[in-house]
Amino acid sequence: MIEVKNLTKIYQISKKEQKKNKTKKDEVKAVENVSFTVNPGEIYALLGPNGAGKTTALRCISTLIKPTNGEINVNGFSDSEKVRENISFLTNELKLEDHFSADFTMNFFGGLRNMTSEEIDERKNYLFDILGIKGFKNKKIADLSTGMKQKLGIAVSLIHDPDVIIFDEPTNGLDVLTAKIITDYLMDMKRKNKTIIISTHVMRVAEKLSDKIGVLIGGHLVMEGTLEKILLETNTESLDDAFFKLYEIHGEQDG
Ligand SMILES: Nc1ncnc2c1ncn2[C@@H]1O[C@H](COP(=O)(O)OP(=O)(O)O)[C@@H](O)[C@H]1O
Ligand SMILES: [Mg+2]
């Protein structure tokens, strides 16, 4: 279970950064007073445009960065070491070592998780099979396509079979076949009672995959609930329309 209570993250902008980005603002409120819960067996989608604060929220949950305010519990833990044992975190900013093979990469990360080589082999077989990695497992990462790298990134993040899965834009930039392998896998994990949160800026992904959608605009969670609830509350017939309606109301506030 993931519990987020009144999460706020303010980035301080250094003088150097201000100069570089031609701004006088010395801070950015990336996420403000956001609360939600994700239960086991549920996929929660944080849906929002670029800059809405999705990555920031997921990084806070994953303990990669410290919230400015608020409380986060993952499977009852808030201590970062415990949280990290319980989660899989996927981000497109993760860099895999170019001269490693997929196979070696898995051994390496399994070792970091203190897994035995038997445990690693068993897990590797399962994940390589389900994600379609077997065919290129001995190739250098430098020679892999974006989709192949993404699949390997997912396998690496899941090596320890965690209860909680946190995927930042998991299908971004992927061809439809690779995207489907990943969304099918997430559905399978949902059936296995994992707690899953993803971020996306693609309505269709949120619509198809999630049990609950949290609409994040300008760092604020402006609406959340099932698709049906969101359509009802916005008096619309598609998530697209609901989103644009919410954006009209909340989009320009923070400039
Ligand atoms: N490390 C950082 N330092 C300063 N500002 C940041 C940093 N990371 C993100 N931001 C700003 O915070 C806001 C939210 O960014 P982000 O969480 O990446 O949004 P999203 O993932 O929804 O596109 C944006 O205005 C972005 O420019
Ligand atoms: Mg992002």
**Which residue, by CA, sits nearest to atom 5 of ligand 1?**
11
- Nearest-ligand number for the alpha carbon of 30: 1
Pocket test for ligand 1, best of 11, 16, 19, 27 (most atoms within 8 A of CB): 11
Tokens of 221: 């969670």
Q: What is the pLDDT of residues 123-164, one digit of tens each?
A: 999 999 999 999 999 999 999 998 899 899 999 999 999 999
Ligand 1 centroid distance, CA of 55 (Å):
7
Report DSSP letters for 105-130, one per residue: HHHHHHHHTT--HHHHHHHHHHHHHH
Integer Cα distance of 152 and 143 in angstroms = 13
User: For domain 2-250, which architecture applies?
Assistant: 3-Layer(aba) Sandwich (3.40)
Q: Can you give the residue ranges of every domain in the chain?
A: 2-250
The predicted model gives 7-19 an average pLDDT of 91
Q: Identify the DSSP state of 77.
A: B
30-82 per-position pLDDT tens digit: 999 999 999 999 999 999 999 999 999 999 999 999 999 999 999 999 999 99
Stretch (H or E) spanning 43: strand 43-47
Q: Can you give the pLDDT at residue 253?
A: 57
> What would the pLDDT profile of 214-233 be if each residue is shown by its tens digit?
999 999 999 999 999 999 99
Ligand 1: centre distance to CA 29 (Å): 9
* pTM score, whole prediction: 0.93
Dist CA 33 CA 147 (whole Å): 35
Cβ < 5 A residues, ion ligand 2: 54-55
**Confidence at residue 33, expressed as pLDDT on a 0 to 100 scale:** 98
